[in-house]
Structure 1
Amino acid sequence: MRFIDLPEHGGPDAMQLADGDKPVPAAGEVLIRVAAAGVNRPDIVQRMGFYPPPPGASPIMGLEVAGQVTAVGEGVERWNVGDSVCALTNGGGYAEYVAVPASQCLPVPDGLSLIEAAALPETLFTVWSNVFDRAQLRPGEVLLVHGGSSGIGTTAIQLAHNFGARVFATAGSAEKCAACEKLGAERAINYRAEDFVEVVLKATDGHGADVILDMVGGDYIDRNIQVAAKDGRIVNIAYLQGANVQVNMLPVMLKRLTLTGSTLRPQPAAVKAAIAHALESKVWPLIVAGKIRPQIAATFPLENVADAHRLMESSGHIGKIVLTL
């Protein structure tokens, strides 16, 4: 099979198209012939050498795919050869074939292309586990999403809006803010021109944000504490502007805040299987009904993966970047 090799860590040009053996599905796994693979920020971090795959995972980049099942391992009952699936991988998505735990596969929703389906798993697993499982967002509460025009952001806005939350988002241009509001954000805040703390407090009559999903870090950490509502939950899933900061922790105590975060890839298979089950029962009907749709910013052939990474690093996109095979 063809796959994207990474002989050494570095910039986008460090990745190379290579040939290798197809994986063989182990017990409990399926082999997927990949039609499309999502590009995600953790891929960039892995390429640079700061996000090694967990023990036993494929060293090939790529955390989500869509395609057809071509083989099933021992003990797999649900999936059959020929089924169209999308899947959260543990690695290996930048390839023509990938072996994936069967419990991390989901059916391609009716009405979606394989390219659209490939943009679902990593973002949906991440948003569901952090916003709904960890932070327990409830209908009527206020969610603030940083990086609202990213793949994670566009997914979080749509999910929270459809589950009855008031959604605010930050983004870096008028175009990106308009896209966030079109997806269900009550107000998108251009962080280059406005202070999100002031805007959210004013719009909520001083209440603030009950849940904050942050991938920025840096000085946002202290400002998140400022804008959080009493009993608010702040969830960090990345620190693009740094994790080492000095903050005033007194409001955390006075407002009874919860500061938390998570990484998805190293979590046990049983945790990922539970998230997949929740998504299929609670989110898949919304996708089939057309209420939630992955936002595809751009597609690139597998051999042009360096261009896909450059676009991701530029932050010039709105939504998801997908590789096609």
Structure 2
Amino acid sequence: MVQTRMRAVLIKDGKGPIENLYIGETEKPVPMAGQVLVEVKAFGLNRADLHQREGNYPPPPGVSAIMGLEFSGLVVQLGPGATGWALGDEVLGLAKGGAYAEYISCDQRTLMKKPGHLSWAEAAGIPENYITAYQALVKYGEVEKGDNVLVHAGASGVGIAAIQIARVYGGKNVIATASTSEKLDWLLSLPNGPTHVVNYKTQDFAAEVKKITEGNGVDVVIDFVGQSHWHKNIDSMAVDGRMTMLATLSGNDVPSVNLWPILYKRLRIQGSTLRARSPEYQADLVAKVERDIVDKITGAEGGGPIRTYIHKKYSWADIQSAQREMADNKNSSGKIIAEIS
């Protein structure tokens, strides 16, 4: 008998507080043309999941209403025309939604082969963070050997990924900001962590950047903060500097903007999103990430030039606690992962 139902993390009333999360039954997806069905072993939590649960970040049209943007698992069914994978292949993948479930159907082009040295949990924490960081730093930031790089929210998942990628690409000074000495000390302890750190709450990061770079400024900025960092970001940037904006956590409106530095320093400022991108764009980006960095990634103790760090693993049966851990900003040193059992 063909199984048509599966378990998934659902939201009572479609949206609401963490207490509305529960594991229930829903329709098992059927892979369409060019898609594969993956039995999910583990999935990563992202702040976007919290926004979706609250009703503030709905999935794109035609995408599963189930949360979850990244996962690892086994290929168990091929849709029509899906020729890139075989049954039993171990994969990690990027999704527009649907990963908080026993099964997910996704475009075969947004899957990557899981390196054998990675556990399911380690692999599940890679796609969203490392693809986002690669897009911001390599595709948009065009980082090159010898560049000076400034990464805000350095202890976040994307920040940790961006720091390590910048080091692998030959960044000269890779400067990370964070809000506490504990986060900064942890970052400095990483084998391929930042060369310098700045506490943005107690230090003027623009002034520190100028000291570190001998007045030159940084060639690439990765920013999540927006309004409160804008003026200092512009001041920190070198001539022909590039800034990628991934979020505006401190607000969207910047008062008293002076456009002149953007003009005379020839600055390039790029906004970046990932979930809303076309399947073709995502497929191209995934292929480049797999080609350039995935085989360089190991677990925290694996010895590779890029490492994935897990803050805590939960059973998906405890998904409320897992989301609460993220909502309370307790994951200051790696990824929160849920394992399906």
Question: Normalization by structure 2: what TM-score?
Answer: 0.92
1:152 corresponds to 2:158: yes
**How much does 1:161 deviate?**
0.5
Alignment partner for residue 61 of structure 2, among 51, 55, 60? 55
Q: Partners in 2 of 1:42 and 1:15 — Cα distance?
A: 15
The residue that corresponds to 1:66 in the other structure is 72
Alignment partner for residue 182 of structure 2, among 154, 171, 175? 175
**How much does 1:255 deviate?**
1.1
The residue that corresponds to 2:317 in the other structure is 303
Q: Partners in 2 of 1:42 and 1:72 — Cα distance?
A: 29
**How much does 1:17 deviate?**
1.8
Give 5+ residue unaligned stretches, structure 1: none
**How much does 1:276 deviate?**
1.4
Asked if structure 2 preserves the Cα contact closer than 8 Å seen for 1:157 and 1:180, the reply is no
Asked if structure 2 preserves the Cα contact closer than 8 Å seen for 1:147 and 1:170, the reply is yes
**How much does 1:48 deviate?**
1.9
Alignment partner for residue 289 of structure 2, among 279, 284, 305? 279
Compare 302-311 and 78-87 and name the one that shifted more: 302-311
The residue that corresponds to 2:266 in the other structure is 256
Compare 131-140 and 288-297 and name the one that shifted more: 288-297
The residue that corresponds to 1:192 in the other structure is 201
Secondary structure of 1:307's counterpart equals helix
Q: Which amino acid aligns with 1:273?
A: A
Asked if structure 2 preserves the Cα contact closer than 8 Å seen for 1:296 and 1:320, the reply is yes
1:314 corresponds to 2:328: yes
TM-superposition CA deviations, 1:283-324 (whole Å, max 9, x none):
123226722111101111112222222222222221111111
Q: Partners in 2 of 1:198 and 1:312 — Cα distance?
A: 32
1:313–1:233 CA distance, 2 compared to 1 (3 A): same
Secondary structure of 1:27's counterpart equals coil
TM-superposition CA deviations, 1:197-251 (whole Å, max 9, x none):
1111111011111111111112112221111111111111111111122122221
Compare 119-128 and 239-248 and name the one that shifted more: 239-248
Q: Partners in 2 of 1:222 and 1:11 — Cα distance?
A: 36
1:270 corresponds to 2:280: yes
Q: Which amino acid aligns with 2:288?
A: A
Compare 278-287 and 133-142 and name the one that shifted more: 278-287
Aligned pairs for 1:158-237 within 5 A: 158-165=164-171, 166-181=173-188, 182=190, 183-237=192-246
Asked if structure 2 preserves the Cα contact closer than 8 Å seen for 1:295 and 1:319, the reply is yes
Secondary structure of 2:227's counterpart equals coil
Q: Which amino acid aligns with 1:193?
A: T
The residue that corresponds to 1:23 in the other structure is 29
Q: Partners in 1 of 2:277 and 2:150 — Cα distance?
A: 25
Q: Which amino acid aligns with 1:36?
A: A
Q: Which amino acid aligns with 2:276?
A: P
Number of residue pairs the alignment of both structures matches: 325
Q: Partners in 2 of 1:63 and 1:172 — Cα distance?
A: 27
Aligned pairs for 1:39-118 within 5 A: 39-118=45-124
**How much does 1:104 deviate?**
0.3
Q: Which amino acid aligns with 2:51?
A: V
**How much does 1:274 deviate?**
0.8
Q: Partners in 2 of 1:8 and 1:56 — Cα distance?
A: 16
Q: Partners in 1 of 2:144 and 2:319 — Cα distance?
A: 39
The residue that corresponds to 1:123 in the other structure is 129
Q: Partners in 2 of 1:310 and 1:115 — Cα distance?
A: 19
Q: Which amino acid aligns with 1:295?
A: Y
Q: Which amino acid aligns with 1:300?
A: Y
**How much does 1:15 deviate?**
2.1
Q: Which amino acid aligns with 2:337?
A: V
TM-superposition CA deviations, 1:40-94 (whole Å, max 9, x none):
1211221222211111111111000001111111111121111110000120011
Asked if structure 2 preserves the Cα contact closer than 8 Å seen for 1:130 and 1:262, the reply is yes
TM-superposition CA deviations, 1:177-209 (whole Å, max 9, x none):
122222320111122322211111111011111
The residue that corresponds to 1:238 in the other structure is 247
Q: Which amino acid aligns with 1:99?
A: S
Q: Which amino acid aligns with 1:306?
A: Q
Give 5+ residue unaligned stretches, structure 2: 1-5
Aligned pairs for 1:1-40 within 5 A: 1-6=6-11, 7-40=13-46
Compare 24-33 and 175-184 and name the one that shifted more: 175-184
- The alignment's C-alpha RMSD in Å is 1.4
